[in-house]
Amino acid sequence: APLAILISGRGSNMASLLEAARAADCPYEVVLVASNNPDAPGLAFARDAGIATFAHSHKGLARADFDAIIDAELRKAGARYVALAGYMRILSEGFVAGWAGRMVNIHPSLLPLYKGLDTHGRAIAAGDAEGGCSVHLVTAELDDGEVIAQARVPIRPGDTAETLADRVLIEEHRLYPEALAAYIRDHG
């Protein structure tokens, strides 16, 4: 199935999705990487990998107007699924409705815990024994849609938000392609 990936920054999860797409039995092919940040390092990575990219700054645009620009690009590229990968924009309801059941996100916490930012710092401050990441369907509510897969890691004494983020990120890179592929196989 044709997949578009939305990024805002580094794009390491995007890279893991691109890497997995090289396998002959992968059920998705990446048709576009799009960003609200023209300087996102992940865009250059995608371009070098031969993937079509689109970038348009959201600055100065109403949220719905910006989302309509992205939506038009996704449809022009023929995307059937959308994967958010470090996409740091709240999405408008209209955009989300247009991709209901076909847009997923990866979030660096064990949802429903710690929606939003600073997930690792909050997990450590709470004294949690485990952190992790979740792949979930995207709804209009931030980090709130149905969870389709999770991975857990231990939180160790002396962990900082950075050391925990590094440990979780390894799991993100494994979990996201696997969960997305399984979801697309089930949903066509």
Shortest Cβ 91–ligand GRF spacing (Å): 13
37 is in an annotated binding site: no
CB nearer to ligand GRF: pick between 68 and 169: 169
Q: Angle formed by the axes of helices 161-187 and 12-21, to 10°?
A: 40
Residue 172 as a binder of ligand GRF (CB under 6 A): the answer is yes
Which one of residues 4, 26, 103, 106 is an interface residue with ligand GRF (CB under 6 A)? 106
Rank residues 146 and 162 by Cβ distance to ligand GRF and give the closer one: 162
Q: Is the dihedral of CA 101, 104, 110, 116 positive or negative?
A: negative
Task: With both helix axes pointing from N to C terminus, report the angle between 12-21 and 41-48 in degrees, rounded to the nearest 10.
Answer: 20
Given a contact cutoff of 8 angstroms between Cβ atoms, the answer to whether 145 and 103 are in contact is: no
Q: Is 80 among the annotated ligand-binding positions?
A: no
Judging by DSSP bridges, how do beta strands 147-154 and 29-35 pair with one another?
unpaired
What residue type is assigned to position 47 of the chain? Answer: R
Which listed residue (1, 2, 12, 122) binds ligand GRF by CB under 6 A? 12
Is 12 one of the annotated binding-site residues?
Answer: yes
Q: Under DSSP, is residue 107 helix (H, G, I), strand (E, B) or coil?
A: strand
Q: Which segment (6-14, 58-66, 75-83, 93-101) binds ligand GRF by CB under 6 A?
A: 6-14
Give the whole-angstrom CA distance, residue 23 versus residue 44.
22
Rule CB under 6 A: which of 33-92 touch ligand GRF? 85-86
- What is the CB neighbour count within 10 angstroms for residue 159? 18
Per CB under 6 A, 135 contacts ligand GRF: no
Residues annotated in a binding site:
11-13, 63, 88-91, 105
Residues that bind ligand GRF (CB under 6 A): 7, 9-14, 85-86, 106-108, 133, 169, 172
**Catalytic amino acids?**
107
